[in-house]
Chain A
Amino acid sequence: MSLLAILLILFLGGAAAWASSLLHPRLPRWIALLSVVGAMLPLVTALGDPAVSDGGWLIEYNLNWIPSLGIRFSLALDGLSALLVALTGFLGIVAISAAWNGIDERVGFFYFNLLWTLAGVVGVFTAVDLFLFFFFWEVMLIPMYFIIAIWGHENRRYAATKFFLFTQLSGMLLLISILGLVYSYSLQSGSLSFAYDDLLSVEMSAGVEWWLMLGFFVAFATKLPSVPLHSWLPDAHSQAPTAGSVLLAGVLLKTGAYGLLRFTLPLFPEASAAFAPVALTLAVVSILYCAKVALAQTDIKRLIAYTSVSHMGFVLLGIYAWNLIGMQGAVMTMLAHGLSAAALFSLAGGLQERLHTRELDKMGGLWRSAPNMAVVALFFSVAALGMPGLGNFVGEFLSLLGAFSVSIVATALAALGMILSAVYSLWVMQRVFQGEEISQSDEEGATPLSDLDARELVIYGLMMAGLVVMGMFPTVFLDYSSAAIERVVSISGSLSDGFGGR
């Protein structure tokens, strides 16, 4: 019941926020904030449940929806999805904070879209009926399209359309694969069902399994994203308003990784195992190639976007390492990157708000005028480059450790990515905050540079605290996800060819 409450609060809160803009333009943001906080309350009680680490589904909600097609409205939460829902809620608040003063037109509609995106993401993380999953998968797209297309920057239309087309086209492949899987199930059992647990038991011929797995993989790898399906991301991230970038980088990318962990691997174990070398290669290429491309960017948001792809490569690496350590590393990277990327994007957004440019060439020496911002930026840059003691290090280290037992070459190459990430992180810090201060006076309409205000400091403080806790006490988080991950890993143990033996 409480899962339904989370979704309903977000959906209805969105509608209420839109309606309230008729009363007062400042009302929607408060309603949005209250909705997200209210929606997270049921989750907090769920996380406090001692049954969390036992594995299994924590809260379930199950309702007949479209019986003639075997579709149920069933939601469930386990440790993995609980962590990601919590991340979604937290970054929802961050996004609202980023939009607090930045969005000043069509405010009601903006918060409507924001909350509906969040609701879609929560739905994706909790749906255990594949039709329902696909339904939410699509639901989270449209409001995001609006956020980019209406409140985005100069090239928003191109970016929004590209984002939509990429995700939609890959979504269609996902749909076909889901239908193929359900059809295989119906051949086997004589009835239709979209339920996750039912579909886990489907026996398929190797060829069918391979193609269906590929459909799932392409959809999730587009979202993740992995090279060569990543090209929508730099455009979408750089053109989206700050709150949109925060949600995209922080939460939406994680739905791809979640899909791989929850669906692709358990549903198609043999095909996925056969595909793992390809996926590992893609992961390594993503890490190195996008880190290299990031170095060549002059637009700060594009740069962060490429680093996102690079870091998500570690997630892909950890997942397809297919052992407990690697997958836990992937989960940890998802959480830590969610926080650090969201923080970096809102910092970049803050810079753009203040300087009216995203060009690195027009920035410099900001340490003097905005010391707090510089310190915060340094913290998150260092976090992103994988400084031990912070969450990102734990995640990437575990991913590499997991991958090491599978492929030493891939691990060695991927580890080079960590060097590159140190290079670009420090390079950005140097370009933006050190060196000659670029005079702002010749910029038309540029306001005198203001440092972070109290609201921003509180939000960044919370995110820093989160990363430190993740770095220092990773087991707090890993305990939640371990049961769910172990279930995925155990499937590989039953494989005949012994995946680890390569």
Chain B
Amino acid sequence: MDYDNAARDTINAFAPSVSWEELLWLLPHEILGATIVFAMLAIAVRRHFFVTTVITTLGLIAAALAASMQFSHLVQGAPSALVTPLFLIDAFAVFFVIVLCLGALALAILGFGYFARLDDAREEFQLLLLLATLGAVTLASSAHFVSVVIGLEMLSMALYGMIAYPIHSKVGAEHSLEAAFKYLVLSAVASATMLFGMALIYSQTGALEVVGSANSMLGYASPLALVGVMLVFVGIAFKLSLFPFHLWTPDVYEGAPLPSVALLATLGKVAVGAFFLRFLIHSHLLLNESVTLVLALLAVASILAGNVLALRQTNLKRLLAYSSIAHMGYWVVALLSGVGLGSQNMAASAAAFYLLTYAALSLGAFACLSIASSSESEAGVLSDYRGLFWRSPWLALALSVMMFGLAGIPLTAGFIAKFQVFFAAVESSQWGLLAALVLGSAIGLFYYLRVIYQMLQPAGEEGRTLRDLGLESVGSVITITLVVLFVLWAGILPEPLLVLIAALFG
């Protein structure tokens, strides 16, 4: 490295100046930021839910397109870019940016249908959604603990508002404030714990980088650094709702409006998951046995607790909450099967695939729920879906596809995802974890089948009639159709997706 470059790097380190080229790498982030400003101004000029939604969706589509172009460049061999020490734009990050933007797009459309008749200001929901998406995108592309915290907080702050969104509505908002507060308090504690962990890591290694060499052997840095790592894990486990930190999940899922829950379950998990995956790959933490032991305990406890507690639920939202706990447990099994170890990227690919599939499946499930509901009355109780197959067969079919997918039945993406987790676990001889997987999957089937069984019951008197679909639900119907097609496509012909995901770690 010649003198000029070295000098520039030194200057960059203290007062990061960003070149045009680097700005271009952050295009998706910038588009999202600009869309937020633009949408806010548009609301100030005139409140109109449809216009705000259009602005939001266009912004998200533009961000996704920009990210797709970056992705094709990166996959074709363009070098990945460290934009300031804060962001690492590589195929991995850009892939998740695309996924997050598309997920947010679906949520914006669902939110439109859901809140169309809310007797309160509706436009800010889309604003909060954009903010949360920006946070999620930041998190997924972060290369530094600072951007991790910024992204995570942006995501959480927006979520507090979104969970409590129908608070001033006269109907259907009994629990949303309680849910928002529960999430606020616990999330703040988790964030503080995580920050403390980062501080401990910094005190031991002197570096806040997630990628790069400074923190690449974190597992062996010092005992105190390891304590820091554990505290960071606590924060992550909270966001992913892993076992001992899962207590908020069912209550928040039950109380929050459906599009917000869908955001929690999709964007929230994908963004944090992507960061966790990157953290583990770059820090080689799994070399340390105490780290793997802690994660294994988290995984097994989550799988068992999530599945067992889901068994007796009569509220579909709570059921999905417990199922998400179990699924995150499965996901950690994929991580434990050797992420960041050895040359084979089987485990990392399996984890990325699982994350994507889980997001698609829970998005689809919540989309089906939200199309059956509106902000005035949510169809959350299982018996609301009694006989759905004979009342609205297409919706029932879509929800069944999602349930089969979550249960890991062939022909759906869920099967391919679970198959890869099994494969990764067998390859790394994780027999104890495999036993938990098998047991969890079997228990899981029981309650997913219960949902389908309810839908297959003859429609009795008590089965309530679902609302008629108005014009505002056209977008939601298209969204559900696309998600169902994706889930089936990834279940029947997964090869393109597998190749794509393998390229992330190549």
A residues near B, CB below 8 A? 65-69, 106, 131, 134-135, 138-139, 142, 145-146, 149-150, 157, 160-161, 164-165, 168-169, 172-173, 175-176, 179-180, 182-183
Contact = CB atoms under 8 A, between A and B. Distances in A.
A20 to B, nearest CB: 15
B495 A66 contact: yes
Nearest to A137: B410
Interface centre among A65, A134, A146, A180 (most CB of B within 10 A): A180
Nearest to B444: A168
B404 interface: yes
B438 A69 contact: no
A66 B498 contact: yes
A165 B422 contact: no
Contact of A183 (B390, B426, B495): B426
B440 to A, nearest CB: 10
A134 B495 CA distance: 18
B505 interface: no
Interface stretch (B16-24, B112-120, B445-453): B445-453
A139 B453 contact: no
B410 A139 contact: yes
A180 B426 CA distance: 6
Interface of B: 390, 404, 409-411, 415, 419-420, 422-423, 426-427, 434, 437-438, 441-442, 445-446, 449, 453, 456, 493-495, 498-499, 502
Contacts of A67: 495
A69 B422 CA distance: 13
Contacts of A150: 456
A175 B419 CA distance: 8
B438 A173 contact: yes
| 7 closest Cβ pairs, A-B complex | A179-B426, A172-B438, A169-B442, A138-B410, A68-B498, A135-B410, A66-B495
5 contacts: A67-B495, A68-B502, A142-B409, A172-B438, A172-B441
B385 to A, nearest CB: 15
A176 B426 contact: yes
A179 B424 CA distance: 9
B446 A176 contact: no
A69 B426 contact: no
A175 B422 contact: yes
Contacts of B502: 68
A89 B502 CA distance: 42
B453 A149 contact: yes
A182 B411 CA distance: 21
A172 B410 CA distance: 12
B449 A139 contact: no
Contacts of B420: 69
B334 to A, nearest CB: 14
B345 to A, nearest CB: 11
Contact of A69 (B437, B446, B498): B498
A168 B442 contact: yes
A262 B67 CA distance: 49
Contacts of B499: 68
A131 B427 CA distance: 16
A175 B437 CA distance: 12
A154 to B, nearest CB: 14
A161 B493 CA distance: 29
Given A68-B502, A179-B422, A183-B426, A164 B445 contact: yes
A172 B440 CA distance: 11
A150 B441 CA distance: 23
A176 B438 contact: yes
B449 A169 contact: no
Given A173-B438, A180-B426, 6 more contacts: A67-B495, A69-B420, A139-B411, A145-B449, A149-B453, A164-B449
Contacts of B422: 175-176, 179
A106 B389 CA distance: 10
A160 B445 CA distance: 12
A68 B495 contact: yes
A183 B410 contact: no
Given A175-B422, A176-B426, A183-B427, A165 B445 contact: yes
Contacts of B438: 169, 172-173, 176
Given A161-B446, A172-B438, A138 B456 contact: no
A321 B411 CA distance: 38
Interface centre among A135, A172, A176 (most CB of B within 10 A): A172
Given A65-B495, A69-B498, A138-B409, A165 B446 contact: yes
Nearest to A177: B426
Contacts of A179: 422-423, 426-427
Contacts of A169: 438, 442
Nearest to B435: A176
Contacts of A68: 495, 498-499, 502
A234 to B, nearest CB: 20
Contacts of A142: 404, 409
A138 B427 CA distance: 23
A135 B498 CA distance: 18
Contact of B442 (A131, A139, A172): A172
Nearest to B420: A69
Nearest to B440: A172
Contacts of B445: 164-165, 168
Contacts of B456: 146, 149-150
Contact of A168 (B411, B427, B441): B441
A401 B211 CA distance: 69
A66 B496 CA distance: 9
Interface centre among A67, A68, A139, A145 (most CB of B within 10 A): A68
A65 B491 CA distance: 12
A135 B409 CA distance: 9
Nearest to A181: B426
A119 B134 CA distance: 47
Contacts of B409: 138, 142
Contacts of A161: 446, 449
B391 to A, nearest CB: 13
Given A65-B495, A175-B422, A183-B426, A165 B404 contact: no
B453 A66 contact: no
A67 B404 CA distance: 25
A453 to B, nearest CB: 29
A173 B442 CA distance: 11
B110 to A, nearest CB: 28
Contacts of A139: 410-411
A1 B502 CA distance: 32
A89 to B, nearest CB: 23
Interface centre among B453, B494, B498, B499 (most CB of A within 10 A): B453
A168 B502 CA distance: 29
Contacts of A146: 456
Contacts of B446: 161, 165
A57 B490 CA distance: 31
Contacts of B434: 176
A183 B430 CA distance: 13
Contacts of A145: 449
Nearest to B453: A149
Contacts of B426: 176, 179-180, 183
A295 to B, nearest CB: 33
A8 B419 CA distance: 25
Contacts of B415: 138
Contacts of A157: 453
A58 B212 CA distance: 57
B337 to A, nearest CB: 12
Nearest to B499: A68
B353 to A, nearest CB: 11
Contacts of A182: 423
